[in-house]
Structure 1
Amino acid sequence: MTKFEALGLNKPLLDAVADMGFESPSEVQEKAIPILLESETDLVALAQTGTGKTAAFGFPLIQKLDSNSRTTQGLILSPTRELCLQITNEMQAYSKYVKGLSTVAIYGGASITEQARQIKRGAQIVVATPGRMKDMIGRGLVDISKIDYCILDEADEMLNMGFYEDIKDILSNTPADKSTWLFSATMPKEVSIIAKKFMHSPVEITVGTKNAGTSTVQHEYYVVGGRDRYAALKRLSDANPDIFSVVFCRTKRDTQRVAEKLIEDGYNAGALHGDLSQNQRDLVMNAFRKKQIQMLVATDVAARGIDVDDITHVINYQLPDEIETYTHRSGRTGRAGKNGISMVIVTRSEMRKIHAIEKKIKQEFVNKIIPTGIEICEIQLYHLANKIKDTKINKDVENYLPAINDVLDGIDRDELIKKIVSVEFTRFSNYYNKTKDLNATVSEKSAARKSTSGGSVRYFINVGEKDGYDWMSLKDFLRDTLNLGKEDVYKVDTKDTFSFFNTEAEHKDQILSFFTDFKLNGRFINVEVSNSPEGSGGGRGRKDKGKKRGRGGKNDKNSYKGKASRSGKRRSKKSRSDFF
């Protein structure tokens, strides 16, 4: 018996599960599915986004419906058009082997007549945004008076977006004896009111802790001057060549302004906010999902319902007013069991907000330092080296090799490597030359480390995320392998194929000696001292490993006119109008 069979799912659903490659149910699925299959009950499920909630309510709903009846039996309310469409697609995939079952999406920005026509043809499941659903009820285009199940997905987000009255009106048109399943990441007062008013003795399940952040997300903060936010944003992006991120701003105006500046500076960026038309939003989101946009600058409202599993970073360009909103933001990364990073750019006056969030989400923030220009150059050049190493050779190049060899005649291997690397290093060196330190303050712990007689030493190590390490597991590996104390290894930064870490100078000889001929799973693990400033946040590694390349953008103060874009790619030929 498979793990999904043990939950009580029938064969059509198990066949769909097999097709989708699901191996083991998530925690929320293990807790919710048996309860919902075995009894007719109301349910409140508290779980972060990205934990498999759609399947947790989707599988039981599909199994319990009568596919032979064309009557609408299940209603799923979700906060945004994007999430509405995503849930619909997932429900259709789950029910692919259930003959006659139809799921229809109802949302604004599309033809209401066509949506009404689809429902009239027969839709056992309707997935809807509150605004469009209320409109269709008012026009008599949809009948939910006989539904058996009502699901409120991302309930806290719907209420934060101002849909409280709409939800009340919609639920008043449903039968009193239906089952209501409420799924939410947090449990603010408004969600509790909905639960008490429209639910009967609901069973409550919790994955993690109420209002807590997910354990797969590392929370970091960077303290800068108020005028240096944008320069800090660019450096954080440049220091993470493979970044795929959502950048949160508080207002639509700031969102548009930051996105435009990033695009002007050569970054693959786009804006998502309420002043865009639905067609513009669709273009931006499609480009983001295809990773044509690597930095999506968004307002909190516009980003509701974004469900992309591979987001590596959430960057809080500005902190939100409400702690629950920060929880929603950080939940966009670290999804589906993957690790993610939530970065916060703050000024000294905002530090109290960091402490308040820590208490609420029950997780500590790591105070990190904005990397210097030379550190970014090193990271990007190592990225380039690995990219060259992993590039598949195009056989058509062979036709041009004789002419190319003539051009490069007389240049030996080492000089050729230096010239290739210099193309990128010179660009970044010119860009970051003489730029100032953006860090407004240093934590007491960091200050104490820098004040020690030996100082802090930065190291390069040739393992990274591709080897299965994140910052926590690499830190544990180094401490255990070197038999160091809990606080002896710090400032661990993992990249794709390499990483950096710091120790006090007193451990330097021990570390370099230990890793002289150290093998792990048959592979040599190389550690070298970085040439970065002592104890700083970046680093460099072995000279014979090559270096990485990155991207341009405007200088922190002066315009940079280079043509390279981030993560080693040429600046995108697409203009802003291609996405808006």
Structure 2
Amino acid sequence: MTKFEALGLQQSLLDAVADMGFETPSEVQEKAIPLLLEDEIDLVALAQTGTGKTAAFGFPLIQKIDTASRTTQGLILSPTRELCLQITNELKSYSKYEKSVNVVAIYGGASITEQARQIKRGAQIVVATPGRMKDMIGRGLVNISKIDYCILDEADEMLNMGFYEDIKDILSNTPSEKSTWLFSATMPKEVSVIAKKFMHSPQEITVGTKNSGASTVQHEYYVVGGRDRYPALKRLADAHPDIFSVVFCRTKRDTQKVAENLIEDGYNAGALHGDLSQNQRDLVMSSFRKKQIQMLVATDVAARGIDVDDITHVINYQLPDEIETYTHRSGRTGRAGKSGISMVIVTRSELRKIKAIERKINQEFLTKKIPSGAEICEIQLYHLASKIKNTPVDSEVEEYLPAIYDVLQGVDRDELIKKMVSVEFGRFSSYYSKSKDLNTSGANDSRSDGRGRDSYNSNGAVRYFINVGEKDGYDWMSLKDFIRDTAGLGRDDLFKVDVKDSFSFFNTEADVTDRILETFTDFKVKGRFVNVEVSKSPGGGQRGGKNKGRRRDKGFQGKKRGDRKEKRGNAVHSGKRRSTRRSDFF
């Protein structure tokens, strides 16, 4: 095997490599680094995400720049803020023994004056997103007219995001005699246009087969009815108790809806899409990297630049329009030599798309069945047993053991194990006790939507009106908790909570209607009557009638859940706010 010493890297870089624990270069590093160090060339490198592309261009760039000069000599363009910051941090790690190397990140959502100040101090390498770089060039805050090296990282991603004109304008401000290095996972025609227009006889290296998927990723598909997508998603999550995944949806609306549903159903989930503020996006990504979020629901655009090595699954809740986009999605797992699984939830009418993807990525999909409730319970039972076995004993529990032994006196070992397992397993087993087979066309599904319990039949549900809403400080989550806790309902007894400005609607099964109405008869919170009635509008639309808004006190603020400050509609919090994720029962 080739060692880094054989690639021509100087000692300061080899020392940094040793500190980071790298031993053997990846294929793209082995092919690219000697080429880039040996001569001044233009290069097109095709390799999947997670194959070490940053080091492939980062080490040669650091070695070739003139550290004695403060002039900007290298420009790296990347599609997203996250990737921009990641590249910057990695280059700083690579150059830790090159004290004169200054790397500056330029991206939107941060102070442009502070970034300009950093550039003015002297930055040999600038890592930038196209939009902010174009803005800074237009304001005269950065000078790239003398750069020697221009790197386009994730070039296909940048072009898919509509940055072609920005890239063209940026490159027009660079000297023609520079070296251009283009790194991309796929080679669609738009990338070929960039290569022909802005590069001079580029050499090309390919890791794997061009446009192919990573060999470390297993591709699976599950055929369900269109209205069963969400129950199928939950079962896939429950069948993999340690899942750490990205769930891809096609639109921002679907992304938000799926994330909200997962959070409400007790999963550690979060949403990532273009309508989030930069601060919300940062919070979501921070929680995801810390694994406080186990299911990150994202749009393709928002997920670009996510670089987390330990993602176990990519779940395609909906297939993308472009096959290249699927390649990028699946590339989020199976990184850094680890294995991963890419799951696709499809309807029968979409099966032709699977065949098209197979031909493009040169890999075959496995046909899988959505697991049954019994199968999931068995998996979770084994998971619980393993979790108990591997849990370290807390020394502080010792002082309580005599009292515990007294309580458990007379219970033999086998009986104790059964009881201990049943405490948690019983809740999960009851959830799936009447679950149906989702591996059907879904034609006989009587549910009104794909949410909530798998066995829910909308014909037995009752719709209610309640005279509190967003103005009273409630969102769908906190209102559900308030009603459920006040009426003493079970976790799954309340569903389809629809919060309006000054009133709301919610559903329960018919057998708890008397309890709901009795609880909220002459019920007050802080001196204000909270009125609940059976709705005359089953769909939850505008409610008329003489009782609308009666006994309403303007100053009332409802019981909130935590310090939820984000506006309703931004599912940026994980399910950790709830007591547990459903599969954390085990």
TM value normalised by structure 1: 0.78
Partner of 1:33: 33
- Tell me if the contact between 1:280 and 1:579 (Cα under 8 Å) persists in the aligned partners: yes
CA distance in 1 between partners of 2:52 and 2:186 (Å): 16
1:97 aligns with 2:97: yes
- Tell me if the contact between 1:554 and 1:561 (Cα under 8 Å) persists in the aligned partners: no
Q: In the superposition, relative to structure 1, how do residues 20 and 160 fare at CA in structure 2: closer, same or farther (>3 Å)?
A: same
- Tell me if the contact between 1:245 and 1:313 (Cα under 8 Å) persists in the aligned partners: yes
Aligned pairs for 1:85-164 within 5 A: 85-164=85-164
Q: In the superposition, relative to structure 1, how do residues 574 and 327 fare at CA in structure 2: closer, same or farther (>3 Å)?
A: farther
State the shift of 1:554 in Å: 4.0
CA displacement, residues 127-158 of structure 1 (integer Å, 9 cap, x when unaligned): 00000000000000000000000000000000
State the shift of 1:108 in Å: 0.2
Partner of 1:293: 293
Instruction: State the secondary structure of the residue aligned to 1:233.
Output: helix
Partner of 1:261: 261
Partner of 2:328: 328
Partner of 1:462: none
1:11 aligns with 2:4: no
Partner of 1:316: 316
Instruction: State the secondary structure of the residue aligned to 1:15.
Output: helix
Aligned pairs for 1:129-278 within 5 A: 129-278=129-278
CA distance in 2 between partners of 1:98 and 1:272 (Å): 37
State the shift of 1:429 in Å: 1.4
- Tell me if the contact between 1:313 and 1:341 (Cα under 8 Å) persists in the aligned partners: yes
Partner of 1:544: none
CA distance in 1 between partners of 2:336 and 2:564 (Å): 33
1:561 aligns with 2:500: no
CA displacement, residues 340-387 of structure 1 (integer Å, 9 cap, x when unaligned): 000000000000000110011010000000000011111111111111
Instruction: State the secondary structure of the residue aligned to 1:126.
Output: strand
Aligned pairs for 1:281-430 within 5 A: 281-430=281-430
CA distance in 1 between partners of 2:168 and 2:258 (Å): 37
Query: 1:396 corresponds to which letter in structure 2?
Result: E
Query: 1:561 corresponds to which letter in structure 2?
Result: R
Instruction: State the secondary structure of the residue aligned to 2:344.
Output: strand
Instruction: State the secondary structure of the residue aligned to 1:296.
Output: strand
CA distance in 2 between partners of 1:256 and 1:2 (Å): 46
CA distance in 2 between partners of 1:218 and 1:274 (Å): 29
- Tell me if the contact between 1:222 and 1:343 (Cα under 8 Å) persists in the aligned partners: yes
Q: In the superposition, relative to structure 1, how do residues 573 and 80 fare at CA in structure 2: closer, same or farther (>3 Å)?
A: same
Partner of 1:526: none
Following TM superposition, where does structure 1 have runs of at least 4 consecutive aligned residues deviating by more than 2 angstroms?
557-560, 572-580
CA distance in 1 between partners of 2:94 and 2:71 (Å): 20
CA distance in 1 between partners of 2:404 and 2:166 (Å): 68
Query: 1:47 corresponds to which letter in structure 2?
Result: A
Instruction: State the secondary structure of the residue aligned to 1:187.
Output: coil
Unaligned runs of 5+ in 2: 443-450, 458-489, 494-560, 574-586
State the shift of 1:561 in Å: 1.6
1:47 aligns with 2:41: no
CA distance in 1 between partners of 2:395 and 2:323 (Å): 54
Partner of 1:515: none
Q: In the superposition, relative to structure 1, how do residues 297 and 200 fare at CA in structure 2: closer, same or farther (>3 Å)?
A: same
State the shift of 1:396 in Å: 0.3
- Tell me if the contact between 1:347 and 1:440 (Cα under 8 Å) persists in the aligned partners: no
CA distance in 2 between partners of 1:191 and 1:579 (Å): 34
CA distance in 2 between partners of 1:555 and 1:334 (Å): 32
Query: 1:44 corresponds to which letter in structure 2?
Result: V
Instruction: State the secondary structure of the residue aligned to 1:282.
Output: helix
Aligned residue pairs: how many?
Answer: 462
Unaligned runs of 5+ in 1: 443-552, 564-571
CA displacement, residues 56-97 of structure 1 (integer Å, 9 cap, x when unaligned): 000000000011110000000000000000000000000000
Partner of 1:550: none
Instruction: State the secondary structure of the residue aligned to 1:335.
Output: coil
CA distance in 2 between partners of 1:73 and 1:335 (Å): 31
Query: 1:309 corresponds to which letter in structure 2?
Result: D
CA distance in 1 between partners of 2:122 and 2:247 (Å): 41
- Tell me if the contact between 2:2 and 2:30 (Cα under 8 Å) persists in the aligned partners: no
- Tell me if the contact between 1:263 and 1:576 (Cα under 8 Å) persists in the aligned partners: no
CA displacement, residues 163-211 of structure 1 (integer Å, 9 cap, x when unaligned): 0000000000000000000000000000000000000010100000111
Instruction: State the secondary structure of the residue aligned to 2:320.
Output: coil
State the shift of 1:573 in Å: 8.4
Instruction: State the secondary structure of the residue aligned to 2:335.
Output: coil
CA distance in 2 between partners of 1:556 and 1:111 (Å): 48
CA distance in 2 between partners of 1:574 and 1:365 (Å): 45
Indicate the percent of aligned positions where both proteins have the same amino acid: 83
Instruction: State the secondary structure of the residue aligned to 1:55.
Output: helix
Q: In the superposition, relative to structure 1, how do residues 197 and 370 fare at CA in structure 2: closer, same or farther (>3 Å)?
A: same
Q: In the superposition, relative to structure 1, how do residues 573 and 388 fare at CA in structure 2: closer, same or farther (>3 Å)?
A: farther
CA distance in 2 between partners of 1:120 and 1:154 (Å): 27
CA distance in 2 between partners of 1:297 and 1:220 (Å): 19
State the shift of 1:557 in Å: 4.1
State the shift of 1:575 in Å: 6.6
1:65 aligns with 2:85: no
1:22 aligns with 2:28: no
Query: 1:418 corresponds to which letter in structure 2?
Result: K
State the shift of 1:579 in Å: 4.0
Instruction: State the secondary structure of the residue aligned to 2:393.
Output: coil
CA displacement, residues 281-322 of structure 1 (integer Å, 9 cap, x when unaligned): 000000000000000000000000000000000000000000
**Max radius of gyration: which structure?**
2
Query: 1:9 corresponds to which letter in structure 2?
Result: L
State the shift of 1:555 in Å: 1.8
Query: 1:224 corresponds to which letter in structure 2?
Result: V
State the shift of 1:562 in Å: 6.6
CA distance in 2 between partners of 1:408 and 1:575 (Å): 41
State the shift of 1:233 in Å: 0.1
User: What is the RMSD computed on CA atoms of the aligned residues?
Assistant: 1.9
CA distance in 1 between partners of 2:19 and 2:122 (Å): 26
Instruction: State the secondary structure of the residue aligned to 1:90.
Output: helix
TM value normalised by structure 2: 0.77
Instruction: State the secondary structure of the residue aligned to 2:440.
Output: coil
CA distance in 2 between partners of 1:573 and 1:209 (Å): 50
Q: In the superposition, relative to structure 1, how do residues 285 and 13 fare at CA in structure 2: closer, same or farther (>3 Å)?
A: same
Query: 1:422 corresponds to which letter in structure 2?
Result: S
CA distance in 2 between partners of 1:55 and 1:119 (Å): 23
- Tell me if the contact between 2:8 and 2:37 (Cα under 8 Å) persists in the aligned partners: yes
